[in-house]
Amino acid sequence: MMKRWRWNGPAGSPARGRRGWAALAGCAVVAAVALLAVDAGIFGGSGEPGRFGGSGLAFAREPVEATFPHAKHARLFPTCQGCHTGIERGDAEAHYPTPALCANCHDGVERHTVDWQGPTRGPSNLRFSHPEHIRESGRRGEPVSCMGCHGEDGAESRWMRVAAAQPENCLSCHAHRAEAHLAASNRCSVCHLPVTEAKALSAGRIAQFPKPEWHESPDFLLEHGRGLGTAVLAARGESAPAPNCAVCHARQSCERCHLDASARPAIMALAPDDRVALLVRDLPPEYPVPPSHERADWLSRHGGVAAADVQRCSTCHAASSCTSCHIGSGGQQVIASLPEARPDGPSGVLLRALPGRLRIGSAAEPGAMRGMAPGSSRGRAPERRDPVHTPDSLRIAALGPEAVSLPERGRHATERVVRVHPAGFDRSHGAAAASDQMRCTGCHEQRTFCAECHTGASRPGFHPANFVVRHAAEAYSRDLNCTSCHNTETFCRACHIETGRGSSGPLQAGYHNAQPLWILQHAQAARQNLETCTSCHVQRDCMQCHSQVGGRGISPHGPGFDADRAASKNAVVCFRCHYGGPPR
Amino acid sequence: MVSCKRAKGSRPRRWGPRLVASGLVLLVGAASAAAQGVRVTGVTTSQYISIRPIVPDSIPAAEVPGTGELRRAADGTPVSCRAGDTYCRFYRSADRASTVPIIQDIDVNAWGFGQGVRFHAQLRGRHAFGSADGLWPRADDAFDALAVYLELDRDRFRLRGGRQWRASGLGFYNFDGASVLVRPIRGLSVDLYGGRGLTRGLNESRTGGALEAIEPLAPDDAAYLLGVEARWRPAPGAALGAVYQREIRTDRAGLYSERFALDGRAALSRATLTGSLQVDVALEEVNEALLRADAPLGRGLGASVEVRRYRPFFELWTIWGAFSPVGHREVLAGVNWRRGDLDLDLRGGWRQYDETGKGLSFAPLRDDGWRIMAAGAWRATPDWLFEAGYRADIGFGAARSEGDVGARRELGESGYVAFRALAFQRLYEFRVDDGVVLGAGADAGFRIGPELTVAGSLYAYRHRDGTGANAVDWTQLRGALRLLWAVGRDPGLRGVGGVR
């Protein structure tokens, strides 16, 4: 019950005047004390938020002063243990004072009552023991003070200037000399439980785990398997810390991207966790492009690299990634050792070959030409069933429908378009195919592939539209060797004869009507491009003049003609023009 | 007009090929029946071709004004009037002739006879309908066996027996015989092959009658084909291939060809070098020598440079080699730029023919040539692709200038529709033939089922003759229809998808 000050004495009495000055002086003293108290923080102030530490637990980030104004009580409590009696002996129930303890003073008489219930103890993944730290520090002769971790300024803090313990406090003692709490060289497992063991944490809380800055490194995705932190320390000549991944990651974290997760001991060493699975379920996988893949010769080199160490490929590539091109005999053993895409997991990076030549009308297959733009480096859930592979436009029309079916795909598919052959390869592949056919058969089925063009006559799509009208210039220039696909006599000449351009029977005038002296000029034309002449003329046409047998005997031989050599190879031909065989 | 179907006096080919065809079909059927698994893929192609052939005609010389051999008739038609001839001659367009050739290609693969044993057949059937069924070459050849062989393939060797074809630095050759390929060490293969040689591009013996129908002086003897080919990959990105081949008359009276080819390819750090050499060993002539370099320049740019020397090859049963044909040298260069949805290609070249020692110094024919090509493709959206191109080829014998634009629309995964417009002009050095041909049309393709695809095209062309004096009329309608199908079991290849 609150005592009341009473005003004693009638008005105007001397006693009443003396009491008035005394009262005024008393108020001044009280005011002064109050000012001093405020300065001392007893009545609270702008206290900094802090945490209460406890064995094995860390509270949510609640401001310390918001729950208890330590600075206000600085003169009342000479030690921390006065209220935090359970710290030294590890009694979690006695970590904080009870409401009854506070009521000893805050009884409503001496002090106002307070509603003290203690801080909320949230779940944590901290691995910490006060008794252990106290014992160990004592054993080392370096007694640790509470203010060392819980003071605003560490051990130098003013009494009862309390703040939440920071991870940097731990780093100051623990001997891994990490630069910062989340540094790559830190040993997270020293202070933190693996996420799979911090079962009290919710998925939402796990999602709030801070991401170390070094995870944002451009090389992180490519190097994390070898331990980016390890590389950092190795560069400094230091030993690698214990694995840290398990503090924040469960097995599903890796299975989100790794096709070969089940074959990786480091991944299988991580325990699975449903909460982590929930968090990563809808996250698309990320597949950075290694620098090696961007080399100009990667297409020719990747086979050897894969054969030497297929594990380098199996993280990102399933077997179906290779078989988008490799349906021949090449590389099948290596491909067989790659994992298959899981229906409930990522498909990895699917490669799609870009047609060697983009020409409308030459590709008679649906789905061709797709994916001309480079594929995204980030996986995405397919909005619709993705288009089929885009084989080279040269072949697809004759390949059969099975050549364009898509392999089975997982939930997330990352596609990347690969231009296997350079532009114009359809017209310049001869030497490459002749020398490196083993490489061709890695992707192309030799038993039918070459014949689809080189047997001629039935393979539209290689030549541009209406080539029958346009082909004269190309035939003269011999940009390509027509005889690699067509027989001159039965294909070229037959068509020319049928359409009236070929010579049949006696030579007639009037066809070469652009050259007035054609009879004298045709020799130059014939020497420069005899193949074109033979596409219209039979041998007898020329023998009318250039043969001694029934002709005019005009020699067609040039200065470099070796008659003896020609006769030694096939004298029968000589008899066509020479009586009695080749002249001596 | 002479039909190329069969020359007079030649042997009738009615029963022989049919018997062979029947035998092959039975063989294929038997093999398929005995096999553990069979897969048959087929491509059925039909086309509509409509052309106005040219035919010789004449006009009384008295009605042609002027003098000299080459004159123009009153209507501007160029005519040839030889001295002493009462008629001047020329060529004109005949009535329109059309044909619909149908070609059926069938590929059969059967396996399960034992480890590494496979039966393969590649067959072709043809027929042509229409008023001019000879318009499409070889349409009268109802049946062709491009390949029929039995194969045993193991790690270290591969044996093949039957009709087979080879693609090598010498081009494409077919033969009936056997081949033994040995892989002694990784990266090296040696292939010995031989048998009865077939005519290149014809898939028939030289004495089978097909040549004789066109060439009165066709070979009178068949040929044996013998050859050896080696391929070696000394290092990743490097490859070398060499082949030596002979075609010998079966009576051993001479050769039809003796050739050697060397091809190589090397991938350097950024560039790729490709080279090839073809030599006519019989006549000691280099038919082709080529060196090409491709290199990326960064930022999506790529460049290529090629130098080439070419001289035609003729088989020794012809007289053509005795005419001392010369070759030409050529330099080609190209730049390609690819970025995102845009693909641009620019190429050009120049060639120079060797000295022939013939011709008229005061009226020489052209002995050089050049060409340029520019093409671009732009994928505006995932479903729309736009393309345009231009090409000019100016040089000895003939020249052309042509351009085209097109657009393609993907209809989901199962189909596409494309439209194209084009224009081209041809000029001949030795013949008056002018005018511009304009064309437009559409292509479409649809996947009807997992094993069935149909595609087709229809184009119309109109020949605009500027001078009004051309004999040739290239106004025509062209159409094509293709059906791709497959039946049978999956052979278990890992390549369920992808390129073939």
Q: Is B401 on the interface with A (CB under 8 A)?
A: no
* CA–CA distance, A281 with A82 (Å, rounded to integer): 49
CA-based diameter of chain B, in Å?
A: 80
A412-418/A346-353 β-pairing = parallel
A489 secondary structure, DSSP code: I
Q: Which residue of A has its CA nearest to B437?
A: A469
What pLDDT does B442 receive? 94
Q: How many CA atoms lie within 13 A of A562 on its CB side?
A: 11
Q: Which of B90, B200, B410, B500 to mutate to test the interface with A (most CBs of A within 10 A)?
A: B500
* CA–CA distance, B18 with B5 (Å, rounded to integer): 16
The reply to whether residue A470 touches residue B402, judged by beta carbons under 8 angstroms, is yes
Percent of chain A residues past pLDDT 70, beyond the cut: 66
The reply to whether residue B497 touches residue A403, judged by beta carbons under 8 angstroms, is yes
The reply to whether residue A435 touches residue B169, judged by beta carbons under 8 angstroms, is yes
What pLDDT does A447 receive? 58
The closest of B65, B55, B120, B113 to B88, measured between CA atoms, is B65
What pLDDT does A436 receive? 73
A397 secondary structure, DSSP code: G
| A contacts of B381 (beta carbons < 8 Å) | none
Segment holding B149, helix H or strand E: strand B143-153
ipTM score assigned to the predicted complex: 0.87
Pairs of CB atoms within 8 A across A/B: 595
Residues 404-433 of B with CB under 8 A from A: 404, 406-408, 410-416, 418, 420, 422, 424, 426, 428-432
Q: Which residue of A has its CA nearest to B83?
A: A509
Segment holding A255, helix H or strand E: helix A251-255
The reply to whether residue B336 touches residue A423, judged by beta carbons under 8 angstroms, is yes
Residues A2-33 as b/e (b if ≥16 CB within 10 A, e otherwise) read: eeeeeeeeeeeeeeeeeeeeeeeeeeeeeeee
Which residues have CB under 8 Å from A77's CB, separation 6+?
Answer: A83, A160
Q: What angle do CA A42, A46, A47 make, to 5 degrees?
A: 70
What's phi and psi for B486, nearest 5 deg? -150, 145
The reply to whether residue B496 touches residue A477, judged by beta carbons under 8 angstroms, is no
The reply to whether residue A369 touches residue B379, judged by beta carbons under 8 angstroms, is yes
What pLDDT does A126 receive? 83
B100: how many CB neighbours lie within 10 A of its CB? 19
* CA–CA distance, A521 with A526 (Å, rounded to integer): 9
Encoded amino acid at A120, one letter: T
What pLDDT does B1 receive? 36
Give mean pLDDT, residues A504-530: 83
The closest of A293, A277, A283 to A378, measured between CA atoms, is A283
Order of strands, edge to edge, in the sheet holding B70-72? B54-60, B87-93, B78-80, B70-72
The CA dihedral of A323, A326, A327, A332, to the nearest 10 degrees, is -90
The reply to whether residue A404 touches residue B497, judged by beta carbons under 8 angstroms, is yes
What pLDDT does A53 receive? 32
Q: How far is CA A370 from CA A45, A362, A413, B408, in A?
A: 67, 14, 16, 11
Q: Is B138 on the interface with A (CB under 8 A)?
A: yes
Q: From the CA of B465, how many Å to the nearest CA of chain A? A: 14
Q: Is B368 on the interface with A (CB under 8 A)?
A: no
Higher pLDDT, A350 or A544: A544
* CA–CA distance, A517 with A530 (Å, rounded to integer): 18
What pLDDT does B444 receive? 92
Split at pLDDT 50, 70, 90, the class of A64 is low
Q: How far is CA B278 from CA A104, B242, B287, B406, in A?
A: 109, 10, 5, 38
| A contacts of B459 (beta carbons < 8 Å) | 465-466
Lowest mean pLDDT among A314-323, A435-444, A501-510, B158-167: A435-444
pTM: 0.70
What pLDDT does A1 receive? 38
The reply to whether residue A490 touches residue B137, judged by beta carbons under 8 angstroms, is yes
Residues 274-303 of A with CB under 8 A from B: 295-297, 300-301, 303
Burial class (CB in 10 A: 0-12, 13-18, 19+), A550: exposed
**pLDDT reading at A392 higher than 70:** no
The CA dihedral of B193, B196, B197, B203, to the nearest 10 degrees, is -110
Q: Is A485 on the interface with B (CB under 8 A)?
A: yes
Split at pLDDT 50, 70, 90, the class of A176 is low
Contact A70, A143 (CB under 8 A): no
What pLDDT does B167 receive? 87
Out of A323, A405, A530, closest to residue B450 by CB = A405
What pLDDT does A58 receive? 37
Contact B395, A473 (CB under 8 A): yes
The reply to whether residue A486 touches residue B324, judged by beta carbons under 8 angstroms, is no
Contact A334, A307 (CB under 8 A): yes
Lowest mean pLDDT among A164-173, A286-295, B420-429: A164-173
Average pLDDT of each block of 10 consecutive residues along chain B (500 residues)?
Answer: 40 53 68 72 89 88 86 84 87 88 90 86 90 80 90 91 91 94 91 95 87 90 96 86 96 94 87 92 94 86 93 94 93 89 91 90 88 92 89 91 92 87 88 84 89 91 72 85 83 39
Of how many residues is chain A composed? 584
Q: Which residue of A has its CA nearest to B89?
A: A510
Q: From the CA of A352, how many Å to the nearest CA of chain B? A: 8
A45: how many CB neighbours lie within 10 A of its CB? 13
Q: Which residue has the tokens 């063009």?
A: A453
The closest of B482, B165, B156, B283 to A397, measured between CA atoms, is B482
Out of B45, B171, B292, closest to residue A483 by CB = B171
What pLDDT does B459 receive? 93
The reply to whether residue A559 touches residue B357, judged by beta carbons under 8 angstroms, is yes
Contact B194, B166 (CB under 8 A): no
Structure tokens at B376: 């671009």
Structure tokens at A18: 């003396």
**Which tens digits make up the pLDDT trace of A111-158?**
888 877 777 767 888 888 888 888 888 888 877 788 878 888 777 778
The reply to whether residue A483 touches residue B210, judged by beta carbons under 8 angstroms, is no
**Which tens digits make up the pLDDT trace of A201-223?**
898 889 988 888 878 877 788 87
Residues A223-255 as b/e (b if ≥16 CB within 10 A, e otherwise) read: ebeebbbbebbeeeeeeebebbbbbbbbbbbbb
Q: Which residue of A has its CA nearest to B461?
A: A466
Q: Is B206 on the interface with A (CB under 8 A)?
A: no
Encoded amino acid at B269, one letter: S
**pLDDT reading at A580 higher than 60:** yes
**How many helical (H) and strand (E) elements, i.e. helices and strands, does chain A have?**
30, 4
What pLDDT does A166 receive? 78
* CA–CA distance, B475 with B480 (Å, rounded to integer): 17
